[in-house]
Amino acid sequence: MATAIPTTTSNANQNTVLAEPRSEPLGAMEFLERTRGIGIHWWSIISSVLEAHQHHDHIYPNSIEPLPQWAVDRLNDHGQHESSETEFTEQVKLLAEALRLSAGDGSNYRYQVWTTRGARLAIKHMSWEEAVAVADRLKGRFPDAFVARVHVKDTFRTSSDPVLLDTLIGRIEHTATSFHRGHEDQFSVQDETGRQVTVAASILQAHAVYQRLEEAGKASVDHSMQRTKMRAISTQRDAVDAVTA
């Protein structure tokens, strides 16, 4: 148990109680989270004070006095306030990423190649340089290709244009499946160049690229189609039972 140590401050005739130092050093990630918490705390105070001033005559149960104009001018510098918060948030993300990498935990981000029309051409690249090289190769066929940084926990439910299946080259790999209640599963496949297309299971199974899909991917597509068929049979049976009941 920590023991309180009394000490005297230099500018007051009173004792300030300090806690005994931690037995273990503060970890970098823990320090980062505390710093972030302090920043959020102060930004929330500024925002709440400004909001209270703007609605001071509607505060319930008793209205409050408005702030002096000089205080409003200082607090109401939204440009500096918001830009500082944005910069701080971005720096926290970058520092957290650097700490993860230095600890050997791997990055939380991947780099993907997209088109401005919403087609995802490549995924799973570990570095910006690698993704840029792929984007440059693809720009011959997709002039609007660009690189985007994506968090590993982000999910995309937008289907690709099935026509993009015709552009896949070589061996095809199943990379992801999105499950949607009441709709077909969406399968993402990737070719040897890193280009990726996402389509419904039935579209993929009926396309020629299905034959080039690795065996585990084929098994996943077939299983998905079987489940879709069973769900359809069950729905029809329930509808018949409801009519005859």
Query: When comparing pLDDT for 25 and 240, which is higher?
Result: 240
How far lies 106's CA from each of 16, 97, 101, 120, 135, in Å? Answer: 43, 9, 5, 23, 23
Specify the pLDDT at position 233. Answer: 81
pLDDT (average), residues 142-151: 86
The tally of CA atoms less than 13 A away on the side-chain side of residue 238 is 6
| Lowest model confidence (mean pLDDT) among 44-48, 98-102, 126-130 | 98-102
pTM of the predicted model, to two decimals?
Answer: 0.40
- Asked if the model's pLDDT at residue 2 lies above 50, the reply is no
The answer to whether the CB of 7 falls within 8 A of the CB of 16 is: yes
Specify the pLDDT at position 21. Answer: 56
Eight-class DSSP state of 195: B
The single-letter code of the amino acid at 57 is D
Task: Tell me the two tokens of residue 10.
Answer: 């230099």
